[in-house]
Each structure stands twice: as C-alpha cells, then as structure tokens.
Amino acid sequence: MKRSRFVAAIFMAGLSLTATSALAKDWTHVRVGIEGAFPPWNALDSQGQLTGFDVDLIKDVCARAKVECELMTGEWTSLIPSLNAGKFDLIMTLGINEKRKQVVDFTIPYASGVATFLIAKNGPVTELPMTGERLNLNDKAKADPVMKTIGEALDGKTVGVVQSTSQEQLINAYFGDTVTVRAYKNSGERDLDLKAGRIDAGFDSGVYGTSMLAKPGNEDLAMTGPLVKGAMLATEVAMGMRKGEAELKARFDDAIKAAAADGVIRALSEKWSKLDLTPSF
C-alpha cells in the first residue's frame, strides 16, 4: 500500500511538472512599455517614431536576449499598472527603490544616474550649493547640512516634479513642510511652467537636465545644486517586470551585463547624454 501511494505521488508530481511546463511562457515576443516623453531616455520624433537612449539600448539588449521586442508607449503613471495588468512584459526607465520593489521585480540596472535642480536664470532661486558636484544622500554627515541649506533657499517656493517619481518622493520628504510641490504628467509640461515663472524650480534626472539644456529655446534655464543619489532616489535605472518572471529576468540580466562589458551602454549613453551611465555590477 505504501509503495502504491509512493508511486501515485510520483505520478501526480510528474503531472504537476508537466502542467507547469505547459504553462511556462515562451519568451520569443516581449512587449516593452516606454513613456516616449522623457528625452534623452526616450521621446517621439517629428514622425512619431520612438527615439532615445532607451530605444537604442533595448534593440541591442533584445537581440542579445534572442527575443523580438515590441515597443508600446504609455503615460508614465500608467506603466506599472499596465505591466501588472498584462499589457506589457517589461517597462523601461524604471528607477529602483524600495517602494517599487513591493509591486514589481527589476532587472539589474542598465544605467546609473543622478538627480538635480532646474531653475530659470533670472528667477527667484539663485545658484544652490555644490552645483555640479556629486552628493550621496546616504552619507548623512556630508549631505544633511547641504540639504538643510537648499531647504532654506527653497523655503516658500514652488518646486515642480513629475508625478509618481522618486524625485517627487524626495522633494516631499526633505522639503514638503516648507515648499509647495507641484506634480506634472511629464518633464516637458513642468519646464513650460518653469520658463513662464509659474513655478520657481524643478527637480529631475540630471541626464534629462543635461539634454534639455543643450536644446535651442532653453538658454534661460540652468541646472543648479548637487548631482544627488541615494536615499529614496531611484537613480539606478532598470527594466521593470511582473513578480516571479525568473526566466525573463535571467535573459535580460545576462544581456545587460554583456552590453555593459562590450562598451555598448557607455557608447549609447554618451551619444545621448554626454555622460557615461554604465552601471557597476
């Protein structure tokens, strides 16, 4: 009887394994969600075609992962809900932080960036301390006095951020009691208000700021303050995926490592941002 039960258990386990294998996803076609409104990471050109660092890199990485990737645009705030609803399999330009780890998994980072402030040159906020210098907010002995000085300079001002970003989280966490935080759907909408004087400063990706300031029409804007990372900032940029997609993660982790080792990430990030965003593994 015991032997019969043992054989039956093995048989049922085999059926379960077969069923699981039958349900395993065939990762030959991957749908990639991308905002298309965050240059130089990603944007739509005059013909409505996706362009930018993310677009060039995902083409290379998908080829290395041996999958066909279909890029699909969506509003920034909809990307994670759409991912978990099954519309996408991956989403691009997702900074890693603890809050997002609760709802999605991440590949290893494909870029390492910073965040900083944007101001109008003739606006009410003058140059902030440590402009152009790197500052890790986790080094509290060094960072806290600097952020205190920045908070004093921003007291009573309005700071624009993109909604549902780690930049929004940081401004609220550090300065939310003394500044007005205004959230926008994308960086471009925020910049229009900054130019028009409807807000006093912006806070965004340093890569975005560098690219934006290089374009005609933005001569009256400037980056100011330290190039910050750490704390709740999601400056390590990765691809997001649904929880538990281990095979998909392994494929793209390996592809990202290979792209970094071959110098592709360095070349593409310097092409689009003038900065080497190659992450450290």
User: What three-state secondary structure class fits 265?
Assistant: helix
CATH of the domain at 127: 3.40.190.10
Residue 72 lies in a domain: yes
Q: What is the pLDDT of residues 122-168, one digit of tens each?
A: 999 999 999 999 999 999 999 999 999 999 999 999 999 999 999 99
The total number of structural domains in the chain stands at 2
User: How would DSSP label each residue in 9-62?
Assistant: HHHHHHHHHHHHHHHS--TTEEEEEE-SEETTTEEE-TTS-EESHHHHHHHHHH
Residue 2 lies in a domain: no
Same domain, residue pair 218 and 250: no
pTM beyond 0.75: the answer is: no
Is the peptide bond preceding residue 40 cis, with omega within 30 degrees of 0? yes
Pairwise CA distance, residues 180 & 190, whole Å: 14
Q: How many CA atoms lie within 13 A of 108 on its CB side?
A: 16
Same domain, residue pair 86 and 48: yes
Q: What is the pLDDT of residues 201-259, one digit of tens each?
A: 999 999 999 999 999 999 999 999 999 999 999 899 999 999 999 999 999 999 999 99
Same domain, residue pair 167 and 104: no
Same domain, residue pair 63 and 201: no
Same domain, residue pair 125 and 188: yes
Helix (H) or strand (E) holding 140: helix 140-154
Residue 16 lies in a domain: no
The reported pLDDT for the residue numbered 26 is: 80
User: What three-state secondary structure class fits 134?
Assistant: strand
Full residue range of the structural domain in which residue 192 is found: 115-229
Same domain, residue pair 40 and 64: yes
Same domain, residue pair 33 and 170: no
Same domain, residue pair 137 and 192: yes
